[in-house]
Amino acid sequence: MSEAIFLAEGQTAPYPILTTMRDFPALYEARLRPEAFVPDVDLHAALADSAALQGHRPVDEDI
């Protein structure tokens, strides 16, 4: 993460996050969503509506 920062002052910016992730992984893991997460939006229906508005055919791939 720090390699992508161009300004020298930003080199240390990710350290608080990186160190807490290293030292307290359980805190971050507790905030992750379970695998059984079901989104509130039907993405296929939303994309079909968008494609219809644009005059396209919806893509039949899993998102």
The count of domains in the chain is 1
Tokens of 40: 């509130």
pLDDT over threshold 60, residue 62? no
Q: Which of 8, 7, 25 is nearest to 17 (CA)?
A: 25
Structural domain contains residue 62 = no
Q: What is the pLDDT of residue 25?
A: 93
Structural domain contains residue 34 = yes
The predicted-structure confidence for 12-46, as pLDDT tens digits, reads as follows 788 899 999 999 999 998 888 777 777 788 888 88
| Structural domain boundaries enclosing 48 | 2-54
Q: Which of 62, 32, 35 is nearest to 47 (CA)?
A: 62
Q: Which of 59, 30, 23, 31 is nearest to 44 (CA)?
A: 59
List the alpha helices (DSSP H) in the chain. 15-23, 25-31, 43-54
